[in-house]
Each structure stands twice: as C-alpha cells, then as structure tokens.
Amino acid sequence: MATLKVPAHAPPSSEDAEQLRKAFEGWGTNEQMIIDILAYRNAAQRISIRKTYHEAYGEDLLKSLEKELSSDFERVVLLFTLDPAERDAHLVNEATKKPSSSSWVIMEVACARSSKELHYAKKYYHSRYKKSLEEDVAHHFSGDYRKFLVPLVSAYRYEGDEVNLSLAKSEAKILHEKISHKHYNDEEVIRILSTRSRAQLNATFNQYNSSVGNDISKDLKPESKDEFLKLMRDAIKCLTTPEDYFEKVLRQAINRIGTDDSAIIRVVATRAEVDMVRIKEAYQRRNSVLLEKAIAGDTSGDYKRMLLALIGAGDV
C-alpha cells in the first residue's frame, strides 16, 4: 500500500530529464521543480530519468543533484532518487562505517524488506563495493551484534501465508525456555528470528502469548538498559508490524531534543512507496496528531516540502 502519488500520465523521461537540467541552470537552482518531478515518479520512472539524463548530458543525475543541493534536502532527494536495491546497499555500506548504533539500519534492511528485495540489495552491494554485504556486516560488528545481524542479512524467508501450528507451539516453547533463563543470544533464538517467515513468526508469538500469558517483547525487556535486547525487540516489531516499528522511529526522531533528521529521511525515503499510508495511520493512533503536521512543525523550506510530498501530504 504505497502513498507516493504518481501522475496517471507522467511525462516521458526525456521531458523530465530536460526539465531537471533547466532546474540546474541559470542564477539559482529551481528546487521546486526538482521536488515536482522526483517526488512524484516511481522507482522505474526515476531509473529511466537517470538513464535518459546521462545519455543526454553525459553526467550522472545524482552528481548534478549533489552540485546543486545541500544539507538535509540534498540527502532526502538523493536517497529517494536511488533505485531501492541501490539505496539499501548504500544505507548498509554507510552504516558499516559508523558506530554500533548503526546496527538499527542493518536490522531494518534485513527485516523490513522482502526476501527478493534483500537479495537484490546484496547483489547490488557485491557489484558496487566488490565485497559481500554479509562480509562487511560481519567485519564491522562483534559479539552478540554480529551473532544476530549476520544471520538476519543472510536470510531468505518464505513469503507466503502458510503456517505450521505445531512448529509454532514448539518454537514458542523454545523461545520461552531460552528467554526465561536469559539466554537471549542463544543460537536457537537467533535461528527462529532469522529464518522463519513473517506469518510463521506471528503464529509463534501468538502461541508464546497464549501459553506464557505475556508478550515476548515484554519478556525481552529487563530492568537494566540493554541495547542488544532493544535491537532484538525492534527486530521482532519490524518483522511482524513494520508500520508500528517505523512509527516509533519517526516519533523518537521528532520528539527528541534536536530532530534526528537522518532517521526521518531514511524512513520517508525507504517507505514512501511501500507502506507510508499504514505508518501515517499508526502515527496518528499513537500520537493523536497527523504525521504531516509533526514533520511540518519540525522541518522547514525545500527539505520540508520534499518530505511532505513523499508522505503524500502536499504542503502544510
């Protein structure tokens, strides 16, 4: 269920490429024209525009955008303009050069994408960076983080709705046994979370809830602050109810002292064509305020206009 409003009869890519070139020329950049084109074209159309632009002007559109734009507006435009697989590869590569908090970015790419999307991201990563995505994740992280993240990015989950109830019961029992003994990083726990389909995991967590009388996320929430357990809880949420997970990322990014623009940009750019409608609904339910109002109150200028266009709000 996408939010992105693509015109019913979008102009040919040659016209879009020409208009973008005009937006870069003259005394000042025409930022509104860039928004009006790129924020309203789907992934296939953006690929076509980039190809046509390169053929016509001998330059990568992304390079032209980098020259003309700056700051958060530049980042959201560039990130959204990328092909989804290219974007995911870029996000993972960028995350492997940052501190351990970047584990959330890796987890999102592993848990919120379909098996096919993750496969394409890994394929592009290999082609672009001359290394495997799994190799870089394994190199960058250590301990429990490596033990958990490498299987997640290596997964190729079944995407169907079929569920094995007896398996759900037995694996719910395994999870409860390991978690009650605080063996959170046990191989069995990681195996279940990193290999089972979303439908199977939902069935397992429902069995866990009925047999234990407690939600698994509550049992993974000890009194002491444990970042690894927080990552594990978020992975479960991202796998089973991605709209609730991304609502939480946006809420925390907006409500903190000093907006976390990188998180807002990442969520909006990666989910605009996927499930932004559901994320907006989850945000309004949780916060009693429209997401577009929250974003408009925390951002400004062309950056604000691009974000609002991508979440399907227009100007606020």
Known binding residues are 24, 26, 28, 68, 254, 256, 258, 296, 298-299
Rounded-to-10 torsion of CA 110, 115, 119, 121: -50
CA distances for 218 relative to 168, 208, 212, 272, angstroms: 19, 11, 11, 30
Alpha-carbon separation of residue 265 from 6, 77, 120, 254, 272 (angstroms): 20, 9, 22, 11, 10
Provide the annotated binding site for Ca(2+). Answer: 24, 26, 28, 68, 254, 256, 258, 296, 298-299
- 3-state class (DSSP) for residue 184: coil
- The C-alpha atoms of residue 45 and residue 255 are separated, in whole angstroms, by 35
Structure tokens at 205: 């967590």
CA–CA distance, 32 with 202 (Å, rounded to integer):
43
Return the SS3 of 300: coil
Cα 208 to Cα 13: distance, rounded to the nearest angstrom: 51
Contact 71, 304 (CB under 8 A): no
What is the 3 state secondary structure string of 253-280? Answer: HHHCCCCCHHHHHHHHHHHCCCCHHHHH
The residues, any chain, with a CB within 8 Å of residue 177's CB and separated by 6 or more, are none
- Helix (H), strand (E), coil (C) string for 57-105: HCCCHHHHHHHHCCHHHHHHHHHHHCCHHHHHHHHHHHHCCCCHHHHHH
